[in-house]
């Protein structure tokens, strides 16, 4: 018959025992029961035992022995436990500690770590066995009442610190032992290293560069910057923002995408240098700026291809003898800059069916082309010429093409082409080259088609300066004596020019880079000496070039000739003989002669004392010149024929126009009175009044619209012009000097009056009336009206003008956004969009904020981007209701509309710090049978957060006093129900609790660390000694066990 038993050990450790009637037979009654169970089928287990009946004893005694042995075996054999409940409260604990923690920082666990003191005399020691190879942690014991707390802290004096980025978890194996006893318990502590915000975001790369077009639409993403932060969670979050205020760009605070938020203008700025910063959100919450590194973004703006090329053509009739005749000169202008303004090609797109012409890029200008013939032109088939159609394209992107330009290439071989008349212009063109030598004046009779109106046109041919001055000799050579006075004429060169007028006037000059003792009269060609010549010290031969230039316009012709002047060797005089000489000298003023004067000269030989001869200035020559001048003025006009001529009194030169004188100018018809049009420049080589130039308009100033300043030559508007009345003025600008005889010169200036939009379109009728049938279908044309405008070109084009009748409409009608309270200043929180179907200015919308909450928000007037201009604070205000106005630029009345933007501020977790108690444990006392609610003690926790995040709520979460005590919001402990003291027996028994008083004194940090290091070294030495003692005990036990194994035991089953 079998019986079953169950045994429950202390603290929940249970052992289930199923057994039969047992009989144990052993020579050694004190031997271990496990060692006696050797029968087949019998098993011994720590948690459960199954065996048969033992033979030879009574079942109760055998059972009692079995129970005693089993309890001893269970209490000693379980890992992590000791006899009779020496064990940790949990087999594994979870704890946390922050990285970079200071020395002696304790880990934090939600559970009590340690061992309950069954025996208050136990002196428990905790030790880290494994898991802390770097030696970061230290295990300590703190005994409070009947519990020995396990506290783990960071070691002091360790140069290494915890770094989560290197290792974020430590699994420590902790051994608890009792000094002086063979009791051990084991547990595990899993320490999680918490992240501290010790790293900052870094950009990679730090420099970015992009190129965008000037026409890039708003909100386009133009670039993206990237930064990283090795921290985790909220510590690794950061914001992007601009270092300085930027209006045309915006950066997304979390993605780093830079978008265009304003209109670009290449002419205003073609490059933007932006600096983007990254701010760590955690650091910003802690109070510092959190800025890590700076990324630079260079945004280059490309000019858009805004303008199309414009073609200008000047036709030309080549001479019949030209080898490569040019029929037209084509210039192309493009107002764009860079590649957009460069011309790729100009081509003939129509009008040349036989492919006889081509455009050659020639000329002094970059975009100048010439129309030339590719092969012999068939003028017989096209006797009236060709109409070539030209088109140019630029190098922009996208490319733009010019408007088609038609050029008429006239037949140069046609003998006679009738004079053409154009409406309101009456220009006469020539059909063949003119030659002034053959004929200087042509008289034409102009008549209309009917022949009833006639007019005489006289055309005077001006010289074209087609001849070069020619010297009469190919080489000039002469000999001169060295003794000739300064100013003596030594040679005359002469040249002639077949041209007429100013084109035939010649001036002379010496072309030499070296200084010469000669000068040339620029008008006569006479070469004279400017210095005394010396055969011994000067060159014997002077060779130089004399240049002859005409006064032609627009350019001059020149020719040169070689001139050689040789010095004669001086003749040596044998000297003057001794004797007396008499000279008779007279003076004349050109009309009268003075009485002769006799001078006696004695020539002597021999030495003459230097003291008896001296020279001094008498100023006789100067006085003589003054008397002659006074005499000449008194006697009247000088005799020019006798050569006594005042050079400065002769008006030798006539006034001449400067080369910059234009052939035509263009003015707007609405140019205000007094506006400067052109400053005409002229010069006269004479001096004094002979060279004083005056300006006048001698002819062509019809309607007296123009005036020229007599002295400065400034041409101005005198009266308002009207192109519809007269669109061209041919002004004869005349210049003259004040010399005698007076000389003058003139040029024709064509003034083209350009159109201004000064006329309103006029309908051909003042009113219209029309009748339609009621059955007319939709879209039936009922009337056509016509209007005309006297202006030209685009000014004369009539358009249907849009009326500003639509207000801007917001899409959607209202907005709602949520923003985090810690977003950086400058962040775009919303983009507004409107639609206005009006055209022109009526469709251009500008935005404004009616209420910006003291400048906390701002809006871009062109793009509608709303930005933060001040920081937000959820605790101060959670909602903002912005009123935005959109207004167009219509004229004469602008229209507007209003929308509302609701901004909700989202709270950011600013609860950065956990509350903590300054003391690990506190002790209080209360009398038994105290009333419920009696205050026991007060505990105080601290929280470094401010405001609502710093408010602390208290509660009792665990412990033997749970339910017996309560705590209020003021951290006051009080009784929650009645308490009873210990019984009489309990009072007489040994005490069950013990309180140790810890005296804590403030010491300097350095002293604390030194003492801490010394204590740790002492504790480690004590632990080593304990280990040695335990090893000795274990050796003794092993010897005893070997002796016991030698004894025999028998177990028999009893039926």
The answer to whether residues 681 and 659 touch, using CB atoms and an 8 Å cutoff, is no
Here the tokens at position 1021 are 């030495």
Q: Assess if residue 410 is contained within a domain.
A: yes
Q: List residues bridging with 87 in a β-sheet.
A: 81
The secondary structure of 337-353, three-state, reads CHHHHCEEEEEEEECCC
In a domain, 646, yes or no: no
Does 626 map to a domain?
Answer: no
687: CATH: 2.60.40.60
Looking at the fold, whether 66 and 143 belong to one and the same domain comes out as no
Tally Cβ neighbours within 10 Å of residue 651.
18
Compute φ and ψ for 77, nearest 5 degrees.
-95, -20
Interior CA angle at 743 toward 740 and 746, to 5°?
160
* 165, two tokens: 């980025």
**Same domain membership, residue 147 and residue 179:** yes
Closest to 661 (Cα-Cα) out of 728, 738, 731: 731
Is 475 part of a structural domain of the chain?
Answer: yes
pLDDT given for residue 66 in this prediction: 52
CB 733 within 8 A of CB 755: no
CA distances from 49 to 14, 58, 119, 527, 898 (A): 12, 19, 29, 149, 88
Q: In terms of Cα–Cα distance, which of 284, 273, 303 is closest to 234?
A: 284
520: burial class by Cβ within 10 Å (0-12, 13-18, 19+)? buried
Does residue 70 share a domain with residue 151?
no
Give 924-982 as a DSSP string.
----TTPPTT-EEEE---B----GGGG-------SSTTBTTEEE-TT-EEEESS-----
Same domain, residue pair 341 and 369: yes
**DSSP secondary structure string for all residues of 73-137:** HHHHHSTTB-TTS-BBS-SEEEEEEETTPPTTPBPEESS--EEE-SSTT--EEEEEEES-TT--E
Domains in the chain, number: 6
In Å, what is the CA distance from 841 to each residue of 394, 501, 809, 895? 30, 60, 16, 11
Distance CA 803, CA 892 (A): 10
The whole-angstrom separation of Cα 171 and Cα 608 is 135
| Nearest CA-CA partner of 171 in 55, 273, 275, 92 | 92
Of the candidates 68, 32, 38, which has an alpha carbon nearest to the alpha carbon of residue 51?
A: 38
Q: What is the DSSP string of 762-811?
A: EESSS-------TTPPTT-------EE-SS-GGGG----PPP-----EES
CA angle 777, 780, 781 (to 5 degrees): 165
Domain boundary among 196, 217, 245: 196
CA dihedral over 104, 105, 107, 112, signed as positive or negative: positive
* Strand-pair partners of 49: 17
Q: Are residues 272 and 214 in the same domain?
A: yes
**Using CA of residue 57, residue 62, residue 64, residue 65, what is the dihedral sign?**
positive
Are 443 and 458 in contact by the 8 Å Cβ rule? The answer is yes
Q: Are residues 360 and 262 in the same domain?
A: no
Regions in the chain scoring below 70 on pLDDT: 1-84, 157-159, 282-292, 320-321, 363-365, 413-427, 436-437, 449-453, 553-555, 570-577, 589-592, 605-649, 793-801, 912, 978-1024, 1026-1028, 1030-1031, 1037-1055
Is the domain of 319 the same as that of 399?
yes
The verdict on pTM exceeding 0.75 is no
Phi first, then psi: give them for residue 228, nearest 5 degrees.
Answer: -130, 155
User: How far is residue 766's CA from residue 782's CA, in Å, rounded to a whole number?
Assistant: 18
Degrees (nearest 5) of the Cα angle 747, 752, 753?
Answer: 140
Q: Are residues 290 and 205 in the same domain?
A: yes
Instruction: Give me the pLDDT at residue 80, please.
Output: 45
Same domain, residue pair 135 and 117: yes
User: Is the CB of residue 979 less than 8 Å from the CB of residue 960?
Assistant: no
pLDDT in tens, 342-384: 888 889 999 888 888 998 887 666 788 888 888 888 888 887 7
Strands 326-333 and 368-373: antiparallel
Q: What is the pLDDT of residues 494-541, one digit of tens each?
A: 999 988 877 888 999 998 888 899 999 988 999 999 988 887 777 888
- Which pair of structure tokens corresponds to residue 737? 């000097």
Please report whether residue 723 resides in a domain.
yes
Query: Do 867 and 826 contact (CB within 8 A), yes or no?
Result: yes
- Residue at which a domain ends, from 196, 216, 250: 196
Contacts of 206 (CB under 8 A, 6+ apart): 293, 294, 295, 296
| Structural domain range at position 11 | 1-78+1014-1055
Same domain, 115 and 51: no
Q: Is residue 669 part of a domain?
A: yes
Residues in CB range of 849: below 8 A, 6 or more apart:
857, 858, 859, 866, 882, 883, 884, 885
Are residues 665 and 689 located together in one domain of the fold? Answer: yes
Domain end position, chosen among 304, 331, 357: 304
Q: What's the rounded Cα separation, in Å, for the pair 943 and 570?
A: 122
Residues 6+ apart with CB under 8 A from 956: 962, 965, 966, 967
Tell me whether residue 208 is in a domain: yes
Decide if 173 is inside a domain. Answer: yes
pLDDT for res 492: 94
Instruction: Classify residue 449 as left (phi > 0), alpha (psi -120 to 50) or beta.
Output: alpha
Q: Are residues 521 and 540 in the same domain?
A: yes
Dihedral class, residue 950 (left if φ above 0, else alpha if ψ from -120 to 50, else beta):
alpha
């Amino acid at each position: 018959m079998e019986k079953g038993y169950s045994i429950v050990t202390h603290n929940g450790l249970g052992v289930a025992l199923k057994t039969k009637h047992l009989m144990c037979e052993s020579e050694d009654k004190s031997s271990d029961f496990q060692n006696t169970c050797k029968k087949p089928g019998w098993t011994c287990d720590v948690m459960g035992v199954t065996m048969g009946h033992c033979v030879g004893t009574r079942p109760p005694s055998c059972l009692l022995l079995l129970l005693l042995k089993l309890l001893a075996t269970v209490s000693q054999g379980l890992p992590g436990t000791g006899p009779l409940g020496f064990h940790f409260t949990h087999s594994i604990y979870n704890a946390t500690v922050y990285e970079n923690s200071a020395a002696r920082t304790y880990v934090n666990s939600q559970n009590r770590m340690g061992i309950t003191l069954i025996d208050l005399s136990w002196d428990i020691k905790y030790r880290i066995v494994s898991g802390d190879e770097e030696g970061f942690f230290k295990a300590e014991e703190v005994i409070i009442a009947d519990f020995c707390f396990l506290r783990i802290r960071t070691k002091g004096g360790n140069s290494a610190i915890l770094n989560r980025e290197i290792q974020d978890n430590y699994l420590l194996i902790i051994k608890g032992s009792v000094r002086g006893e063979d009791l051990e318990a084991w547990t595990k502590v899993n320490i999680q290293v918490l992240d501290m915000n010790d790293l900052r975001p870094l950009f990679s790369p730090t420099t970015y560069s992009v190129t965008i077009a000037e026409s890039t639409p708003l909100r386009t993403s133009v670039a993206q910057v990237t930064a990283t932060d090795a921290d985790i969670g909220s510590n690794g979050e950061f914001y992007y923002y601009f270092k300085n205020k930027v209006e045309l760009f915006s950066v997304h605070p979390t993605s780093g995408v830079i978008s265009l938020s304003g209109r670009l203008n290449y002419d205003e700025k073609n490059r933007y240098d932006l600096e983007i910063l990254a701010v760590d959100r955690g650091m910003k919450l802690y109070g510092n700026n959190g800025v890590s590194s700076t990324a630079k973004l260079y945004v280059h703006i490309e000019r858009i291809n805004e303008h199309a090329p414009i073609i200008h053509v000047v036709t030309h009739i080549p001479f019949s003898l030209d080898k490569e005749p040019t029929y037209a000169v084509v210039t192309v202008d493009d107002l764009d800059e860079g590649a957009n303004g460069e011309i790729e090609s100009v081509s003939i797109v129509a009008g040349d069916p036989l492919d006889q012409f081509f455009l050659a890029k020639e000329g002094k200008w970059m975009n100048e082309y010439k129309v030339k013939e590719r092969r012999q032109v068939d003028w017989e088939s096209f006797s009236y010429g060709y109409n070539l159609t030209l088109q140019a394209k630029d190098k922009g992107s996208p490319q733009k093409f010019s408007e088609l330009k038609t050029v008429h290439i006239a037949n140069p071989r046609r003998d006679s082409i009738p004079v053409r008349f154009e409406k309101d212009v009456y220009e006469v063109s020539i059909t063949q080259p003119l030659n002034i030598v053959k004929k200087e004046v042509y008289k034409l009779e102009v008549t209309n088609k009917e022949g009833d109106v006639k007019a005489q046109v006289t055309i005077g041919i001006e010289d074209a300066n087609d001849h070069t001055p020619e010297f009469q000799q190919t080489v000039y050579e002469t000999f001169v004596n060295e003794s000739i006075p300064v100013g003596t004429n030594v040679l005359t060169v002469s040249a002639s020019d077949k041209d007429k007028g100013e084109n035939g006037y010649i001036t002379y000059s010496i072309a030499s880079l070296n200084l010469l003792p000669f000068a040339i009269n620029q008008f006569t060609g006479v070469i004279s000496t400017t210095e005394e010549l010396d055969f011994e010290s000067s060159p014997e031969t002077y060779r130089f070039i004399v240049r002859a230039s005409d006064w032609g316009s627009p350019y001059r012709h020149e020719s040169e000739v070689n001139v050689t002047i040789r010095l004669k060797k001086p003749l040596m005089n044998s000297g003057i003989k001794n004797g007396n000489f008499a000279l008779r000298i007279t003076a004349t003023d050109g009309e009268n002669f003075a009485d002769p004067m006799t001078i006696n000269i004695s020539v002597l030989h021999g030495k003459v004392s230097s003291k008896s001869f001296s020279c001094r200035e008498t100023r006789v020559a100067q006085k003589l010149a003054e008397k002659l001048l006074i005499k000449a003025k008194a006697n009247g006009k000088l005799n020019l024929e006798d050569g006594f001529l005042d050079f400065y009194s002769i008006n030798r030169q006539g006034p001449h126009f400067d080369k910059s004188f234009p052939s035509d100018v263009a003015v707007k018809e609405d140019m205000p009175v007094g506006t400067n049009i052109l400053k005409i420049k002229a010069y006269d080589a004479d001096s004094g009044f002979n060279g004083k130039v005056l300006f006048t308009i001698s002819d062509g100033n019809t309607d007296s619209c123009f005036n020229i300043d007599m002295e400065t030559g400034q041409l101005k508007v005198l009266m308002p012009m009207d192109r519809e009345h007269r669109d061209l003025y041919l002004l004869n600008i005349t210049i003259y000097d004040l010399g005698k005889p007076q000389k003058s010169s003139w040029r024709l200036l064509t003034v083209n009056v350009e159109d201004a939009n000064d006329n309103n379109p006029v309908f051909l009728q003042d009113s219209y009336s029309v009748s339609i049938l009621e059955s007319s279908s939709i879209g039936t044309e009922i009337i056509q009206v016509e209007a005309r405008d006297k202006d030209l070109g685009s000014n004369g084009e009539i358009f249907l003008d849009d009326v500003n009748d639509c207000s801007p409409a917001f899409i959607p009608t209202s907005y709602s956004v949520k923003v985090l309270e810690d977003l950086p200043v400058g962040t775009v929180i919303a983009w507004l969009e409107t639609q206005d179907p009006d055209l022109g200015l009526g469709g251009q919308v500008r935005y404004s904020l009616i209420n910006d909450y003291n400048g906390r928000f701002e809006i871009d007037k062109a793009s509608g981007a709303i930005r933060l201009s001040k920081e937000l604070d959820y605790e101060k205000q959670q909602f903002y209701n912005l009123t935005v106005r959109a207004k167009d630029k219509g004229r004469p009345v602008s229209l507007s509309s209003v929308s509302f933007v609701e901004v909700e501020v989202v709270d950011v977790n600013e609860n950065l710090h956990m509350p903590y108690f300054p003391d690990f444990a506190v002790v209080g006392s209360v009398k038994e049978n105290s009333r419920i609610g009696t205050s026991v003690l007060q505990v105080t926790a601290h929280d470094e957060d401010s405001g609502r995040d710093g408010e602390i709520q208290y509660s009792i979460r665990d412990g033997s006093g749970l339910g017996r005590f309560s705590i209020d919001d003021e951290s006051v402990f009080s009784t929650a129900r009645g308490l009873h003291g210990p019984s009489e027996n309990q009072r007489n028994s040994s005490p069950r609790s013990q309180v140790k008083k810890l005296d804590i004194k403030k010491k300097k940090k350095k002293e604390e660390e030194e003492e801490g290091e010394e204590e740790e070294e002492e504790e480690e030495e004590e632990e080593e000694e304990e280990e040695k003692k335990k090893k000795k005990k274990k050796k003794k036990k092993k010897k005893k066990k070997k002796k016991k194994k030698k004894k025999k035991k028998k177990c028999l089953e009893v039926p």
